Amino acid sequence: MSQIKFTLNGKSVAIDSNPLRRLLDVLREDFKNTGVKEGCGEGECGACAVLLNGKLVNSCIVPVGAIDGSEIVTIEGFRKTERFKIISDAFAEAGAVQCGFCTPGMIMATEAILSQNPSPTRDEIADGLSGNLCRCTGMNMIIEAVELASKNGGGK
């Protein structure tokens, strides 16, 4: 066990944990951030994506010991922002949500894209979403949603 301190959605937190536990499990079990989903559990689908110091990571392949001192933002925290509203409205308008399982990870990926590049091309969007899989809509509607979010002010 070690003490691990980090910032979760703007709040300082500390846990005593085996440092090898998956960040995904810590977020879901210890902090009830159940918007962070488990899909593949192998770093392939993006359902568990969160922002780690502003960068998109798959929390199923990050050991919690590696995030000591870092800043984590999950969909639970991002949901409270104006940018979330712009992005989620764009997803709804573009018809990019069906079962919704991939959506939290897609929204975090969208934020990671637009915070770096407010007006991405379709190729840049596709590239930014390449680690996120959707089994329902196909990627075209999701790419359109990101374009729409960018136009609607989701970029900076």
Side chain identity at 2, as an amino acid letter? S
- Give whichever of 61 and 155 is closer to ligand FES, judged by the CB atom: 61
Q: How many Cα atoms occupy the beta-carbon half-sphere of 44 within 13 Å? A: 5
What's the rounded Cα separation, in Å, for the pair 102 and 38? 10
Site string for ligand FES, 12-41 (x = CB under 6 A): --------------------------xxxx
Nearest alpha carbon to residue 38 among 46, 73, 30? 46
Least CB distance to ligand FES at residue 121 (A)? 23
Given 14, 135, 151, 153, the residue binding ligand FES (CB under 6 A): 135
Residues from 37 through 56 that contact ligand FES (CB under 6 A)? 38-41, 43-48
**Total site size for ligand FES, rule CB under 6 A:** 22
- Give whichever of 26 and 134 is closer to ligand FES, judged by the CB atom: 134
Q: Report CA dihedral (45, 46, 47, 48) to the nearest 10 degrees.
A: 130
Given 28, 137, 147, 149, the residue binding ligand FES (CB under 6 A): 137
Least CB distance to ligand FES at residue 47 (A)? 5
Q: What angle do CA 131, 85, 127 make, to 5 degrees?
A: 20
Q: For helices 103-116 and 139-149, give the axis angle rounded to 10 degrees.
A: 50
Residues from 67 through 106 that contact ligand FES (CB under 6 A)? 97-102
What's the rounded Cα separation, in Å, for the pair 91 and 22? 29
Least CB distance to ligand FES at residue 99 (A)? 3
